[in-house]
Amino acid sequence: MRVFLNPNVDPLGAGYTIIQSKIAIGSGRFLGKGWLSGTQGQLSFLPERHTDFIFAVIGEEMGFLGVIVLILLFYLLIYFGLRIAAQTKDRFGSLMALGIVITIAYQAVINIAMTIGICPVVGLVLPFISYGGSSLVIFAILMGILININKRRIIF
């Protein structure tokens, strides 16, 4: 608990990843260092950079502008998903769409919050971005279900 509140208590142990993540995000500045030019990510200072801390790598390489674009894309995905859930006349379809949107939003918010040090490191992937075949397949299936709910909402 002390390391979550102050990662500098154990900078080479439990606080290492969050310190390196903050350094990576901060060094990206406004436009970033460029594709594959980030020092923290490319020189392996940031552990689990391809899964848990991909947001830090994006912040370092794409900068503040890239991070804002990514957050805007997640916002649009959540907004349109909630709109599908609200407009569906079938109660089951509406609740299923809401569950899919909440799942994607929850994982995105927790991953971003843990990367910037607001939440403790829990190991959730960033939807559609983090490396890993199983999470990508699951999120693709969830998006397919959401699109199908949207397509068939008029019938019910």
Instruction: State residue 155's pLDDT score.
Output: 54
Q: Indicate the pTM of the whole model.
A: 0.84
Walking along the chain (156 residues) 10 residues at a time, the average pLDDT comes out as 65 72 82 77 68 84 93 97 92 94 96 89 87 89 94 65
Do 32 and 65 form a contact (C-beta atoms < 8 A)? yes
Name the amino acid, one letter, at 129: I
pLDDT of residue 108: 95
Predicted confidence (pLDDT) per residue in 84-94, tens digit = 999 998 899 99
Which three-class secondary structure state does DSSP give residue 37? coil
DSSP H helix total and E strand total for the chain: 6, 0
Radius of gyration of the chain, Cα coordinates, nearest whole angstrom = 18
Phi, psi torsion values for 134, nearest 5 degrees: -70, -40
